[in-house]
């Protein structure tokens, strides 16, 4: 009874209560709600990890954010993928984490709603076999290349004998050897360039053989 009297005498209070309720309801409605079917990490080329996930429904989902960690506790932002906003069907997504130099990684996936608040969705872990080897060849970049010049990194996990070199062979799409590059390496990160500026535009294959294993990667000059 007392409450009713206060409301009648204080219309502003009634409006304030109503506005507060409306504001709170809007916040709740704008949170991202996602039904996630799976979140998986798989190794691609040396230094690249492909993250894939699938949703069966999304409500107010503006964007997915991806983070990674080398210790499983401190996660750093690595990238984002646009969500569907609203969907009630199966949707598949992917994100490529390039030039990874750690062997053991954890990834987290979250959804960001219309209110810019994040909703944690899932975590996954991966141990990359390639980066546990002595030599880790990372994908050349930029790829495609407009001028035909590609940066190329080799991570050497342990000490190697002085003067250790690799031969990087470049083949055209017909399998013809177009170029040979001698690359000297030492322990740590080794950076070099592959110069295809004199070649016609097209697709080429980089091939390196070491320890009875052959590593290949396509190069696109446009």
Q: Which parts of the chain have pLDDT scores under 70?
A: 1-30, 46-47, 101-103, 130-134, 157-162, 211-213
Question: For the chain, what are the domain ranges?
Answer: 31-130, 133-221
- What span, in angstroms and rounded, lies between the C-alpha atoms of 97 and 51? 8
Supply the pTM of this predicted model: 0.51
Provide the CA 201 distance to its chain's centre, in angstroms: 28
- What span, in angstroms and rounded, lies between the C-alpha atoms of 185 and 162? 8
Q: What letter would DSSP give residue 138?
A: P
- Give the tokens for residue 159: 């000490």
Tens of pLDDT, residue by residue over 160-216, are 666 778 889 999 999 999 999 888 888 788 888 999 999 999 999 999 877 666 788
| Closest to 109 (Cα-Cα) out of 117, 100, 119, 101 | 119
Domains 31-130 and 133-221 fall in the same CATH topology: yes
| Closest to 39 (Cα-Cα) out of 89, 102, 111 | 111
Q: What is the CATH number of domain 31-130?
A: 2.60.40.10
Inter-residue contact 20 to 107 (CB < 8 Å) = no
133-221 CATH fold: Immunoglobulin-like (2.60.40)
Q: What letter would DSSP give residue 100?
A: -
């Amino acid at each position: 009874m007392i409450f009713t009297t206060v409301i009648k005498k204080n219309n502003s209070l009634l409006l304030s209560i109503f506005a507060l309720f409306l504001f709170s309801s809007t916040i709740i409605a704008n949170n991202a709600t996602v039904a996630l079917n799976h979140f998986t990490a798989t190794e691609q080329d040396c230094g690249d990890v492909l993250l894939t996930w699938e949703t069966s429904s999304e409500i107010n989902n503006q964007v997915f954010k991806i983070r990674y960690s080398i210790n499983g506790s401190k996660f750093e932002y690595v990238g984002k993928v646009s969500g569907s906003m609203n969907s009630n069907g199966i949707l598949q997504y992917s994100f490529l984490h390039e030039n990874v130099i750690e062997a053991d990684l954890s990834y987290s996936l979250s959804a960001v709603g219309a209110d810019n608040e994040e909703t944690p969705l899932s975590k996954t872990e991966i141990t990359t076999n390639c980066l546990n080897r002595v030599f880790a060849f990372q994908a050349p970049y930029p790829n495609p290349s407009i001028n035909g010049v590609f940066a190329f990194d080799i991570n050497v996990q342990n000490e190697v004998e002085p003067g250790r070199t690799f031969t990087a062979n470049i083949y055209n799409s017909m399998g013809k050897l177009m170029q040979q590059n001698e690359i000297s390496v030492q322990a740590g990160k080794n950076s070099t360039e592959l110069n295809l500026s004199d070649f016609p535009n097209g697709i080429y294959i980089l091939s390196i053989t070491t320890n009875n294993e052959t590593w290949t990667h396509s190069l696109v000059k446009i």
